[in-house]
Structure 1
Amino acid sequence: MTDQIRWKQRLHRLSIMAFAILFFLSWAHTAQAGIVYSLDRNHATAGETVHINAVVFNNTSNAMDWVAPKTIVLQWRSEQGEPLRTIAHRVEGPSSVSIPVNNFVQFQWRAVVPQSTSGLQAVNVEGDGTLLALDTNTLESARVASVPATGPVLDAEKSDPIYGDAVAPEHMVAQAGASHTAGPAPISSQGSTPNLGFERFRNAISPYEPVYFDVGGQDNRMARFQISLKYRLFTPDDPQHPSFVDGLYLGYTQTSLWDLHSDSNPFIDTSFKPSLFWRRDAIYRPNESAFFLGLQSGVEHESNGKSGEDSRSLNFAYVQPEFNYRLGHGSTLTFAPRLKHYFSMSENPDYKDYVGNVDWKLRWAQDNGLVLTGLYRHGKEGRNSTQLEAAWPLKRTFLNMNGYFHVQYFKGYNETLLGYDQKTGSQVRFGLALVP
């Protein structure tokens, strides 16, 4: 038995053992997501503006997308009085966020204390059962020094003077989507759903691999771009406690190398990569630990769609454990080696000699900040490949636009599937990334 066959058998056994252990851990893990409200102070008199703070946390096993509503409805109750309802308006800032595993984000809304309130008030976001205490007594009777507002007060939304009470009319409450039974929770949607089929599709589709368009390299006129997405096959009945099948996805990635300096600007090669896989961002997370373990495993086909001598295709099954560590100041370090087993390789049986059986991946990502990624492949007889990438959000530049400024460096083999056995010199490209 050759060393190569022994290595294949060991790799296969290792993959099965890793998947079995991590699968067992996924069933033993419990997680949750939620939102916690608080007031920015404990005393304010009628006509003053208060802020409602919200912490949205994600302790589930997958990253979570959430959209903060523009307005929320507050209920005000004294010890004897009927509830009053006012509108609180979200403070400026991003409304749509992606919350990583074992992380949280903060939002804030501002509201005016109704002029008809007095004494100790129990305040809550309509639909949420948490009661917040606010003392609205005047200076003479309050424990905390304050004075009542005189004359016009400020509108919580526009900062313009208003007269009369801040109590919201019924049509404003309805526009805010308030409900006595369900408030703005991380897993709930806001507003109506006029097209249920489209909403289901939109909720099931999400980014997969990086999406970018870069230009540079040879003669500074070679473009490399990639599009990628994944589709969740099952919608969880309980997103906070997904079942095993809820982690099944269809994936699709397409990578192209485009010659911009030759006549007719031909595409040198394009790789089409459909896949079926199972994924969970956090399959194991010790209590109170900054470490969590994710897992992805599946099968992938890759081909360049050409015929004859230029035809290239391959298939492989893989297991990809992901070792994540939450660092201080809001960043995550991820080490994610992908262990691959090739099959049905009749067109290019020596492919693995140039790329190896493991993709070594390392990623460091700041929340809403810099993203650095590295990929290393080790083939036989020194056939190595290195790809390094950096992305910086354009929202944090003078352009104030969506997307990321993207830089990519590549050197080695398999820049294209057609030329997997040809070594490429150092290539540096710059461009725009939608998903880093």
Structure 2
Amino acid sequence: MRFFASLARLAPDTSLQSQRAVQRNSRTVLLSTLLAIVTIGAFCGEARATVAMLQPARVAAANEPLQITLLYSADDSRALTVTVPPTIRVTLTGAEESPQPLDLQREPGVPDTLHLRPGQFRKVRFSAPWPQSARGEVRIDPVGFDASPALVAINRGPQQDAIAQAERAESEASTPAQAAEAAAAVGGPTGDAMSPPGDSLSTTGRGVLAHVSYYEPMYIAFGHNGDTNARLQLSFKYRILMPDDLRSKAFLDNLYFAYTQTSIWDLSADSRPFRDTTYSPQLFYYVPDTGWHSPFFTRMGFAAGIAHESNGKAGTDSRSINMPFIRPTWEFGDLTGNHLTVSPKIYYYLGTSNNPDIADYRGYVDLLVKYGSPDGWQLATTLRKGTKHWYGSVDSQFTYPLAKLLGSKWGGYIWVGYFNGYGEDLLDYNNRQHWMARVGYSIAR
């Protein structure tokens, strides 16, 4: 009886504990639900907010700070409150330096939070001094927010302020006349500081890669005319000195070493040998834009130097020439769209003991004529005329971006080539190739 009495006394306490447990569970469920709602609401708010980085000016003065502008916008139908960090971080990758972080401070007077009405946007600027080690073309990669990287050329020359000011004026100009006036203020287009589109092998990078760029077209292509063969070419140029002022026209500031290797690969023979390979190192002065202006052309480039060509063979198959040359290049029309390029390479032969009559078949001028756009198709034809009879050659190359055929993930170009005449390779400079058509892939054109 005492046991049952004790049990009866404990019963109300047990019921009270159960009630408290239920209450605790209810509060836990309620708090979890509220937390989930808040989290979902915050997530939705962030998803509807847009943060974009505006591209900085292409050319910057070294004595002015690096300035990054973020654009906050409310793309929802409701008002939005966003938090603006006091600093943002970017990574700078320059010519001779490893990637290094840089923290930029928010401009004064901007609150920690922004209240944006539906459809409203707000620009917020962040800035920091350029590191002393930053030189030449520098790549800016955002850290912690999704934005495309930017490429800026740092000018440390005596006219850096005027050049940077002209660049800003040109980018903000509302009419072509105003843009031309801004460019003329410093003696030429602000684009002089950059290489032509598609020219760069590594727009930015560490060490020597920042000095390397494409030179002649690079491709591999296959064809058949009696026998099956392939033609492949590798080519690059190296800028020996990276100047403080990328617009400099000084000799040493624009001195390049280049190397081109062109091979004819015989795929019909049993061992599939390379029938002949031409090795061509060059040393030359080159500027993509001389700054000379005329109503007849849009831009004029210039190159001059000495080139060597040989096939690396001995005896009667040995071929070797040395050629001092000059090469002006004129471009006509809109450089961002379809335009014409005319580029004669004028040269003279030195040391042709193994092939003294090469001028009879090759002449003294390679006339390159191109038409097309940087992001579309292009037809490039090189014409040669020998000094005797009708000796000479026609070498045409048609290219089209693979990205436009197969999607943006693809790089390079589809390559279609046609050759007819003398001198496709050094070994057979005096043998006629009636015609050869090939199809292949090109890395650079």
Calculate the TM-score normalised by the size of structure 1: 0.60
Check whether the contact 2:262–2:279 (CA below 8 A) recurs between aligned residues. yes
Letter in structure 2 aligned against 1:421: N
| Number of the residue aligned with 2:113 | 116
| Number of the residue aligned with 1:418 | 427
Alignment of 1:375-394 (within 5 A): 375-379=382-386, 380-394=388-402
Check whether the contact 1:73–1:176 (CA below 8 A) recurs between aligned residues. no
Check whether the contact 1:290–1:327 (CA below 8 A) recurs between aligned residues. no
| Number of the residue aligned with 1:432 | 441
How many Å separate the matches in 2 of 1:387 and 1:118? 63
Larger RCO of the pair (alpha carbons < 8 Å, separation 6+): 1
Check whether the contact 2:84–2:114 (CA below 8 A) recurs between aligned residues. no
| Number of the residue aligned with 2:190 | none
How many Å separate the matches in 1 of 2:367 and 2:240? 28
| Number of the residue aligned with 2:262 | 255
Letter in structure 1 aligned against 2:113: S
Quote the RMSD (CA, aligned, Å).
3.8
| Number of the residue aligned with 1:27 | none
Q: Check if 1:246 corresponds to 2:253.
A: yes
Match of 1:357 among 364, 386, 389: 364
Letter in structure 2 aligned against 1:405: I
Check whether the contact 2:51–2:71 (CA below 8 A) recurs between aligned residues. no
How many Å separate the matches in 2 of 1:122 and 1:435? 39
Letter in structure 1 aligned against 2:375: N
How many Å separate the matches in 2 of 1:114 and 1:220? 74
Check whether the contact 1:209–1:229 (CA below 8 A) recurs between aligned residues. yes
How many Å separate the matches in 2 of 1:315 and 1:228? 18
Match of 2:406 among 398, 401, 422: 398
| Number of the residue aligned with 2:327 | 320
| Number of the residue aligned with 1:37 | none
| Number of the residue aligned with 1:228 | 235
Letter in structure 1 aligned against 2:397: E
Bigger radius of gyration:
2
Q: Deviations over 1:255-311 (max 9, x none)?
A: 000110111112111100011111000002439996111101110110100001111
How many Å separate the matches in 2 of 1:303 and 1:210? 19
What secondary structure is seen at the aligned counterpart in 2 of 1:203? helix
Q: Check if 1:207 corresponds to 2:214.
A: yes
Q: Deviations over 1:193-239 (max 9, x none)?
A: xxxxx822001111110000000032462101100111111111222
Structure 2 gap ranges (5+): 1-46, 61-67, 73-82, 91-109, 131-140, 155-204
Q: Kindly state the Cα deviation for residue 117 of structure 1 after the two structures are TM-superposed.
A: 1.4
What secondary structure is seen at the aligned counterpart in 2 of 1:342? coil
Check whether the contact 1:361–1:374 (CA below 8 A) recurs between aligned residues. yes
Q: Kindly state the Cα deviation for residue 58 of structure 1 after the two structures are TM-superposed.
A: 7.8
Q: Kindly state the Cα deviation for residue 55 of structure 1 after the two structures are TM-superposed.
A: 7.4
Alignment of 1:42-81 (within 5 A): 48-49=49-50, 53-54=54-55, 74=70
Q: 1:381 to 1:291 in 2, by over 3 A?
A: same
Structure 1 gap ranges (5+): 1-45, 60-71, 77-81, 90-112, 130-171, 189-197
What secondary structure is seen at the aligned counterpart in 2 of 1:186? strand
What secondary structure is seen at the aligned counterpart in 2 of 1:187? strand
How many Å separate the matches in 2 of 1:370 and 1:127? 42
Check whether the contact 2:383–2:393 (CA below 8 A) recurs between aligned residues. yes
Report how many aligned residue pairs link the two structures: 297
How many Å separate the matches in 1 of 2:115 and 2:294? 44
Q: Kindly state the Cα deviation for residue 416 of structure 1 after the two structures are TM-superposed.
A: 1.1
Check whether the contact 2:54–2:70 (CA below 8 A) recurs between aligned residues. no
Letter in structure 2 aligned against 1:346: S
Q: Check if 1:368 corresponds to 2:379.
A: no
How many Å separate the matches in 2 of 1:114 and 1:382? 77
Deviates more, 1:283-292 or 1:317-326: 283-292
Alignment of 1:39-188 (within 5 A): 48-49=49-50, 53-54=54-55, 74=70, 84-85=85-86, 116-118=113-115, 123-124=124-125, 126-127=127-128, 186-187=152-153
Q: Check if 1:333 corresponds to 2:340.
A: yes
Deviates more, 1:398-407 or 1:339-348: 398-407
Letter in structure 2 aligned against 1:124: R
What secondary structure is seen at the aligned counterpart in 2 of 1:396? helix
Calculate the TM-score normalised by the size of structure 2: 0.59
Q: 1:56 to 1:427 in 2, by over 3 A?
A: farther
Letter in structure 2 aligned against 1:389: Q
Check whether the contact 2:224–2:436 (CA below 8 A) recurs between aligned residues. yes
How many Å separate the matches in 1 of 2:150 and 2:237? 27
How many Å separate the matches in 2 of 1:174 and 1:220? 55
Letter in structure 2 aligned against 1:263: D
